[in-house]
Amino acid sequence: MNCPACKELMVVLELDDVEIDYCIRCQGIWLDAGELELLLENSHRRDTFLSSFQVEINAGEKKKKCPMCRKKMNKLSLPGSEQDSAQRQKKILIDGCPGQHGIWFDRGELYETLKKGGLTPSDPVITWLREVFRDGLSE
């Protein structure tokens, strides 16, 4: 599969039963439909968190094409990622296929998404991401 951001061929990494398509060049990550849910495991906040993603109409970012169906993906904002002038926090926007094929995360966005989804720094998924994507994560 080719990267929706830089068009390079991605490699497949596996964590338990979840396959992560990873772009070595831009450090983006593609998760097929349902894989984010698997990474969030049985978090009590999972369903509420996942249903709270909102489509951003005027996101100000160029839309990427889904690597499966080639349709332009929606920009989705994450809950709790609004601009905060005091902290200068950048809004996190991820890309979701309108055909539900999957979700694209630019460098570091999967890590931030999982943290907002209720996973703690000691969670095995967060630990694995830190070890594998050491240079692509922000703390």
The domain segmentation of the chain, as residue ranges, is 11-136
Long-range contacts of 132-135 (CB under 8 A, 24+ apart): 132/13, 133/22, 133/27, 135/27
> Is the model's pLDDT at 69 over the cut of 90?
yes
Listed range (54-63, 88-97, 110-119, 127-136) with the worst mean pLDDT = 127-136
pLDDT in tens, 71-112: 999 999 976 655 444 444 567 899 999 999 999 999 989 888
**pLDDT score, position 84:** 46
pLDDT tier, 120 (very low <50, low <70, confident <90, very high otherwise): confident
Q: Which string of b and e fits 11-49 if b means at least 16 CB within 10 Å?
A: eeeeeeebebbbbeebbbbbbbeebbbebbeebeebeeb
> Is the model's pLDDT at 45 over the cut of 70?
no
> Is the model's pLDDT at 70 over the cut of 80?
yes
